[in-house]
Every structure is written in C-alpha cells, then in structure tokens.
Structure 1
Amino acid sequence: MHGQGAFATSRGPLPLRRGRAPSAGPVRPGRRAVVHDLRTGADTYGDPAAGVPPAARSGAGVPELRYPAHDVLVASGLPGSGKTTLINRTVAPLDDDGRAVVRIDSQDMREAWERRLPGWLPYALYRPLVRCAHYAGLHRALRSGASVVVHDCGALPWVRRWLAWDTRRRGRRLHMVLLDVDPELALEGQAARGRGVSGYAFGRHRRAVRQLVAGVAAGRPPAGCASAVLLDRAAINALRGISFE
C-alpha cells in the first residue's frame, strides 16, 4: 500500500520512515533506494526485502536524475504522456566520459520512413518494416556499450525482458522512468501532436501502465529493473536534466 513498507528485522515489520529533505541536489536512482516516487506530495521507497530505508525526498524541485554511464534507461508511460518531449528536453547529449548518449524512439524511425515513402501509402502497410528497423537500431545501440535511453510504450513487457537480459549479460543495469499522467491529459497530448492510437490500443496501454504504476508506487521496480522513478506532470515539468556519469 502506498506509503507503507517494512524493514527486514527479526521482530516483525516496522513502518517505513517518512520525511522530506532538501531537493536541491541530483537524485541517483538505485544507489540508496531502488524506487523514487517523485510525484507531488509523494514519498519515496527503499527495498524492504533488502532492509533499505526509503529515500527522504519529495517530488518538489528535483533538478536532475543521474545514472551510471553505459547503463540503459527506459522512459515508459501512456501514448501522449510526454515521453518523447521529456527525453528531448532533459537527456544530456554526452555522458561524463564524453561519449554520445543514444536515444531510441520508435516515433523517430516511423517519421524517417514516412519522409522516404509516398504520403498516400498507409502506415499499416509498412509498420512491420518500421518495427524491425526500430529493434535493429536498439540492438546496435545496446551492442555499442553507450549509455542508452529507450522510449517505451509500456504495453510490451517482452521488450523490457529483452533489455533486462541484455544489460545483465553485458554487466550493465536497466532503469525506468515512469510517467504517471492522467489518461485525459495523454489523449490531449496525442491530439496536440496530430497522431493517436485506436481506442482498443489505448485501453491496452492504459491497463499495462496502470499495473506498472501500482507496482512502482508500492516500492517494487519492474522485473529486471535496478531502479524506477515515478513522475507526475508537476515532477516532469520540474525535472531539468537526465545524465549519465
């Protein structure tokens, strides 16, 4: 349940400590806490099974998220929730080693194909080719050893399983930033960009993201993820940077 948890003790569960701390410094997910719930007014969680206390931070004014160089970050949430905008606005182009941070967004691949093909050709006809090209690019990015940020719709668990397996075998870690945005706002975001998904597809995304948010809010990162950060609209707007050090 949100706001509760337990330390590993021999005397039974104890409530997790709550508290607020200055949020002027960066947050490094996965170091002291595996889950950071940075939504407005929310507390963050540690890992009760490992006896890790919660991070004493609120969602107000977190300026930057910092991850180890060469790790992989997945940005997940509803279509239209602002994942692409967040990535483009906050992700630093270089890591602290001076290497380029690779951004993988299926929308970029779709638009690249659309520019090369006749406008009258329905996207449904070449969508399988776009997806193949997208996953081939993701594979190349993972193989390069660079720090990678991946746009994820949240409705394809097999993609995260693949990422978790690949990062683990390469001695890296997988992290998630999860956008908790009202479905109505997400639909408005789709309308603003002039591109949406069907009602059926949006319902599927909504169910998948709801499960992800519930797990992270309870202090459990998705399977295979070393950390998870939960953001609402206010926290998204307050976040100024995502970097790899």
Structure 2
Amino acid sequence: MALQRSVPTAGVAHGAMPAQSGAPARELLGTRAPVVRDLRARTGYGPYSLDFTAGDIVVVSGLPGGGKSTLIRQAVSGRAVDSQNTRDRWAAALPRLLPYALYRPLVRAAHYLGLWADLRSGESVVVHDCGTQTWVRRWLARHAARRGRTLHLLLLDVDPGTARQGQRERGRGVSGYAFARHRHAVARLIRDTERGALPAGCASAVLLDRAAARALSRISFTEGRSEARSG
C-alpha cells in the first residue's frame, strides 16, 4: 500500500505500526505485523491518494452516516460494491409506501450475490461494510487468500453525534437499537485496529477521521510494486 500525500512528508504516517515503505501488503502478510496507518488529526497533511496492488480487496467500514458511501463515491473510480446502491435500486422499482423491512432480505440477498459475482471476476474491488457483519470480512479474507491477493481495511472513526447528523442529512437513519449495535461493533474494531489486532486475514488498515476522508480523492489499484510518493 502506498500513500500519495498532498504535501511532502518523511517516513510513514503518524501512529503507523511495523511497515516497510512502499512494500505491497501481500509481501507483509505472514512475515511481518499488519500495517496500520493512523491518519486522524492530520489536517492539511493527510494523503490525497491510497494505492493498493491490483486484484486486492479494500473494505470501507464505520458507523452508519459516517461517510462511507460518500468516500467511495468521491475516491473510487473502479469496481465498488455498496449495499446502499442496491437498496436504492430496489426502492426505485417498488411502491414508495412499501416499508423497507418487508423487502430488506431481498435487498441483502441481491447485494451479496452481486458482491460474489464481483469477487469471482478477480478484479480489484472496494466493499462497503457496516461494521457489524464480521462474517463478511472473514469471507472476503478467505477469498483474497485463495486467489493470492490481500484484504485491506479503511476505517472511518466518526463520533456518534456526527454519524447521526449524517443519517438525518441523507434522510435515512437506523433504529436506536441497531445504531447501538453498530457503535459497539465499530468501537471494538477501532480499538483492535489501534493496537494492531486486525481482523483475521487483513494485512493492513488505515484509520481516517472526517477531515482525512474528505481529503482523500483517489483509491486506486496498480500492477506490481507500488512505491510511496509525495506530491
């Protein structure tokens, strides 16, 4: 994984755990500790681009309303799988008064079938993750390993109040019970990531706050070894 920065910087990102600058994550998996880069509280110094090895899988996780879909729309030009897009397509095709709860199982089935098709293509893919479905990350890690590829995590650290405001702005929220489950799962994922304990099979993670996410304009995949560059 390589970071292209908006201003010249030296070394790895603040809070980074054992890493070799520019080394593809799949070379680190199994031989070194996972790479964790903490880009929070780096206003004006965060990277504008994250580059991964072609064929790898990137999971974007965080609270509902925290900006995951926004980040994917603004930074990913290639293949991306966002469950919100699947929900929007179904909602557009069905009567407006039909409660989402009635067709939620169909939306989820369609989402995972589409994700499976994208994974089978062998191409690089960015996946929207709600944070509570640990089995999804395990599935993605196993699939990446079988194909000799690597799983990476982009984790948005956004306070619950900001996330709730994000839900109001998009006009779609989750119940208090569901949001509490998300808060618990994401908080645990952040704590584990901060101490370098990534989900099984995940080779690297990048911690982002809202400012770092807004500064990130490109998530790309390149063939071969990617070297870190400043720009």
2:6 maps to 1:21: no
SS in 1 for 2:205: strand
- Distance in 2 (alpha carbons) for counterparts of 1:159 and 1:174: 12
* Contact 1:104–1:148 (8 Å) recurs in 2: yes
TM-score by length of 2: 0.81
The equivalent residue for 1:102 is: 79
- Distance in 1 (alpha carbons) for counterparts of 2:95 and 2:11: 54
- Distance in 2 (alpha carbons) for counterparts of 1:59 and 1:156: 33
The equivalent residue for 2:99 is: 122
Q: Where does structure 2 lack aligned partners over 5 or more consecutive residues?
A: 1-8, 14-20, 29-33, 223-231
The equivalent residue for 1:159 is: 136
Quote the offset at 1:69 in angstroms. 0.6
- Indicate how the Cα distance of structure 1 residues 154 and 181 shifts in structure 2: closer, same or farther if over 3 A, else same: same
* Contact 1:38–1:59 (8 Å) recurs in 2: no
- The residue type equivalent to 2:35 in the other structure is V
- Distance in 2 (alpha carbons) for counterparts of 1:177 and 1:157: 15
Q: 2:75 aligns with which of 90, 105, 118?
A: 90
Quote the offset at 1:226 in angstroms. 1.1
Quote the offset at 1:135 in angstroms. 0.3
The equivalent residue for 2:176 is: 199
* Contact 1:37–1:230 (8 Å) recurs in 2: yes
2:49 maps to 1:64: yes
Q: Where does structure 1 lack aligned partners over 5 or more consecutive residues?
A: 1-19, 42-57, 94-100
- Distance in 2 (alpha carbons) for counterparts of 1:204 and 1:150: 20
Q: 2:211 aligns with which of 228, 231, 234?
A: 234
SS in 2 for 1:63: strand
For these two proteins, the number of residue pairs brought into alignment is: 201
* Contact 1:75–1:152 (8 Å) recurs in 2: yes
* Contact 1:23–1:61 (8 Å) recurs in 2: no
2:168 maps to 1:179: no
Quote the offset at 1:181 in angstroms. 0.4
- The residue type equivalent to 1:243 in the other structure is S
The equivalent residue for 1:36 is: 37
From the two aligned structures, give the one with the greater strand fraction: 2
- The residue type equivalent to 2:41 in the other structure is T
TM-score by length of 1: 0.77
- Distance in 1 (alpha carbons) for counterparts of 2:130 and 2:118: 18
SS in 2 for 1:36: strand
- Distance in 2 (alpha carbons) for counterparts of 1:23 and 1:241: 19
The equivalent residue for 1:8 is: none
- Distance in 2 (alpha carbons) for counterparts of 1:118 and 1:67: 41
Q: Which has the larger radius of gyration?
A: 1
Deviations 1:155-199 (A, max 9, x none): 110111111111111111111100000110000000000000000
* Contact 2:68–2:128 (8 Å) recurs in 1: yes
Measured on the aligned residues, the alpha-carbon RMSD in Å equals: 2.2
- Distance in 1 (alpha carbons) for counterparts of 2:56 and 2:87: 25
Greater relative contact order (Cα < 8 A, sep 6+): 2
SS in 2 for 1:74: strand
SS in 2 for 1:138: helix
